[in-house]
Amino acid sequence: MIDSVPTAELLDIINKEDAGVAPAVSTAIGQMAPFLDRLADRVRKGGRLFYIGAGSSGRLGVLDASECPPTFGVSADVVQGIIAGGESALSRATEASEDDPAAGARDLAARGFRREDTLVGIAASGRTPYVIGAIRAARSMGALTAALVCVENSVLAGEAECAIEVPVGPEVVTGSTRMKAGTAAKMVLNMLSTGLMIRLGYTYGNLMVNVQPRNEKLRDRARRIIEESAGMDPDSAAELLDKAGNDVRTAIVMAKKGVTRGEAAKMLESKMGILAEVLNG
């Protein structure tokens, strides 16, 4: 029994269970990849990505969405998280709100969800009414929908157009889906949002070239990215960043192609902002 073993053994049991999460996530890559390609195409055309969930699942969706603007320099509108019970549920549990499917549909409508948007419903059990209601509403509009669940053949997966199933097995503490299921959801959401930003051209190699230098830390990061990408010394990179209007991608094109800021901007626009295509073209 886990509650009767020494502390070191207790932690080892949890750790060994956690070690099985990454292999479980890998089994869902075949489901994630086609969904991600469709998602990226929709976002390029002006669509947005929404996550919706209740409890721990909702908090993980809000967390992943909130990390996209500072990491990749995108508008907060591009990836959004919705949690049952609203913002207060981020820090205070409101489990009752997850039982109302109509509330999921209402919360989605209140955010201005549109046909061209995409909704990922997150529910470890695959049966949360709040999430099912939202998925049904989104699908009735013709939007792309996906279910992120930690079981197979769930109700939610059946309601969504795409299923991302990560069967992590029983939790160390029964029913505590903030553990393995939560870890799995965090990993999948990281993969989806990061993969989306890569496909949208917000990286060059593994560098975050759409970073917005709004403070000294981010300005230093932007300068170092230009240094590495264009082979420049720190002072020259900082000067070029200024000339490029604090746009990292523009600065790199200016350096690598020997063009003006305006010319660099036009070249990026012609390639939908994908730096690799500009530099390799």
Point out the catalytic residue in the list 67, 116, 161, 263.
67
Question: 166: closest CA among 192, 202, 137, 129?
Answer: 192
**Is 89:37 a contact under the CB 8 Å cutoff?**
no
Strand pairing class (79-83; 144-149)? unpaired
Question: 109: closest CA among 127, 82, 90?
Answer: 82
- Residue 237 class from Cβ within 10 Å (0-12 exposed, 13-18 middle, 19+ buried)? buried
67 is a catalytic site residue: yes
Angle at 122 between CA 152 and CA 35, to 5 degrees: 75
263 is a catalytic site residue: no
Helix (H, G, I), strand (E, B) or coil at 187: helix
Alpha-carbon distances of 226 from 202, 210, 221, rounded to whole Å: 14, 11, 9
Question: 98: closest CA among 222, 89, 216?
Answer: 89
**Is 234:227 a contact under the CB 8 Å cutoff?**
yes
Point out the catalytic residue in the list 98, 159, 165, 171.
98
- What is d(CA 35, CA 30) in angstroms, rounded to the nearest whole number? 9
Catalytic residues: 67, 98
